Amino acid sequence: MVNNSFTCAARILPFKTQVEHSQPSAPATNHPIEGEVAFCVRGVISPLLANLYLHYVFDLWAERWRRREAAGNMIIVRYADDLIVGFEHETDARRFLDEMRKRLQEFALSLHSEKTRLIEFGRFAAENRKRRGLGKPETFTFLGFIFICSKTRRGKFQIKRKSRRDRMQAKLQAIKQELRRSMHQPIPQQGRWLQQVVTGYFNYHAVPTNSSTLTAFLFHVTNLWRRTLRQRSQKARLGTRVNGPKGLILR
């Protein structure tokens, strides 16, 4: 674990491309076939193509920069077009951010102006900011989680991960719409579907320090199901259970 004091959270904007392709008129011609590399932005294969492209545009360059230019420790985490870079020294963070912008411009890419930030984050961030008369360290979001500088019950530093509230609300809204659509389906069938949904949510979001969000999610899902069944001609049976990570019980 790098005790970095500065973190750069960035998102690379999708680049504009044109899809152009043609087939040769005759396979026996000696003329070379001219092609253009194109990416289907927001298409099914777009994340895969973006990963291949950014591996050469960013990953290899950033690793070389870490070995040759960084004065202190440095960590790099990228998933598709979202990335987090941690630095031990602020000077490294600022130099890297400036040079990364130049690097991306060479390939017609740019950083998202609203989602790219340089923040003070890490084991000593709270202490350093308090010494300067500043507030708590800023938080950042990555892959559906909010990352927060926190402490354990024993007072030791820990990074707290919490599911984004807007993402959970969007998921609950989707569940509500599906429950309305399948309102009159058999209760066991609805239960099996909800079990899959809750299990999938827990499989991704069940990380340390995030138990309160999971408890809230399970409570809201149970409440949505209860309210949906009460709109049917028959009432929900007392004690109907769905076997999930913690189980759903209608009362």
Average pLDDT, the chain: 79
Average pLDDT over residues 43-58: 77
Residue type, 187: I
Average pLDDT over residues 32-42: 51
Tell me, what's the pLDDT at 22? Answer: 38
Tell me, what's the pLDDT at 214? Answer: 94
Tell me, what's the pLDDT at 218? Answer: 94
Average pLDDT over residues 157-183: 93
Tell me, what's the pLDDT at 50? Answer: 77
Tell me, what's the pLDDT at 111? Answer: 86
Taking only the tens place, the pLDDT of each residue in 211-249 is 999 999 999 999 999 998 888 755 545 444 544 444 554
Tell me, what's the pLDDT at 194? Answer: 93
Tell me, what's the pLDDT at 33? Answer: 47
CA distance 118 to 213: 27
CA distance 222 to 241: 10
Tell me, what's the pLDDT at 52? Answer: 83
Q: Residues 70, 87: contact at Cβ < 8 Å?
A: yes
Global pTM reads: 0.72
Q: Is residue 121 scored above 80 in pLDDT?
A: yes
Smallest CA-to-CA distance from 162 within 128, 212, 203, 202 is with: 212
Tell me, what's the pLDDT at 31? Answer: 54
- 160 SS3 class: strand
